Amino acid sequence: MRIGFIGVGGMAQAIIGGLLQAKTFAPAEITVHSHHEESYLPYAQAHDLIAAKSNTAVVVGSDLVVLAVTPNVAPAVLAEVKDQLTPEKTLISIVAGLSLAEMARLTSAALPTLRTLPNVNVEVGAGMTAVAANDALTGDRLTAALRVFNTIGSTTTLGEDQFGVFSALAGSSPAYIDFFIDSLSRAGVKHGLTKQQATAIAAQATLGSAKMVLQSHKIPFELIDQVSSPGGSTVAGLLAMEEAGLMTAVVKGIDATIKRDAGETD
């Protein structure tokens, strides 16, 4: 099976990097093209990918076609390759805001289509991707499309009206979590550690805590209780953080992200 990318921006490169690392596809099974040759040709050469000369060539040479362009040019690109997007192909879109209904209008309702919203952590095989399939994408075809993202992280099937919430919780949150890790490391520097030491400690602790949440049958608050001895230092730290408004700040941050994503302003 061959996969092609129309558009080779940051997210496309993150996905390709994750797929190569996971060996889901060999370099020779990945075709790329973008509007500017300087954007994709050196990248293709550096990773031994196939550099197509046109968007049409990407579709013709691929079983799975990943639409990875910006929202403003997506309609024009789909119009350009519409005739080559036969029902034997599977279209995978990572274009924010482009609905399944709009893609069907621009191509065909008979075209198996998967709308996705991956986060940047796909590059290291730890991504989280929201997916929504149209009625034409079923069975082995759906399994093959989902495999692209399940081999570089996890997927969750959502209604398209929930993609905005997902974007805040998984798409934007890597920046928020990185900010939290950096805050922890700066506290470590305050108390004598080097920034490198403190960042490594904070990042590994965050990674381990995330794995505990995913692998445990306990809710996060139960895991908090496990490390919170009565009258201990952890409790003191938690109370100080909450007094400073940690939970409220997180919820407000997610609210603001969803509001901006929906195009709302104050």
Q: What is the 8-class DSSP label of residue 120? A: G
Distance CA 134, CA 100 (A): 7
Residue 117's H or E segment, with its range, is: strand 113-118
H-assigned helices in 156-243: 163-166, 173-190, 195-215, 220-226, 233-243
Q: Decide if 3-163 and 171-261 have a common fold.
A: no
Tokens at residue 261, please? 């994503």
- Say yes or no to pLDDT of 265 above 60: no
Residue pLDDT, tens place only, 169-219: 998 999 999 999 999 999 999 999 999 999 999 999 999 999 999 999 999
pLDDT confidence of residue 196: 97
pLDDT confidence of residue 38: 80
Region 242-263: what's the mean pLDDT? 90
Name the band, by pLDDT with cuts 50, 70 and 90, for residue 256.
very high
Region 244-253: what's the mean pLDDT? 94
Distance CA 31, CA 49 (A): 6
Specify which residues 5 forms β-bridges with.
32, 66
Enumerate the domain spans of the chain.
Answer: 3-163, 171-261
Distance CA 165, CA 183 (A): 25
Q: How many helices (H) and strands (E) does the chain have?
A: 12, 8
What lies within 8 Å, CB to CB, of 163 at 6+ separation is 115, 117, 130, 132
pLDDT confidence of residue 57: 97
Cβ–Cβ under 8 Å, residues 37 and 63: no
Is CATH 1.10.3730.10 what the domain over 171-261 is classified as, yes or no? yes
Tokens at residue 166, please? 């997902």
Residue pLDDT, tens place only, 40-93: 899 999 999 999 999 999 999 999 999 999 999 999 999 999 999 999 999 999
- Say yes or no to pLDDT of 262 above 90: no
Q: DSSP per residue over 40-56, as a string? A: HHHHHHHTT-EE-SSHH
Amino acid letter for position 164: G
Residue pLDDT, tens place only, 97-153: 999 999 999 999 999 999 999 999 999 999 999 999 999 999 999 999 999 999 999
Tokens at residue 176, please? 């928020």
pLDDT confidence of residue 35: 87
* Percent composition of the chain: helix, strand, coil (DSSP 3-state, to 5): 55, 15, 30
CATH tag, 3-163: 3.40.50.720
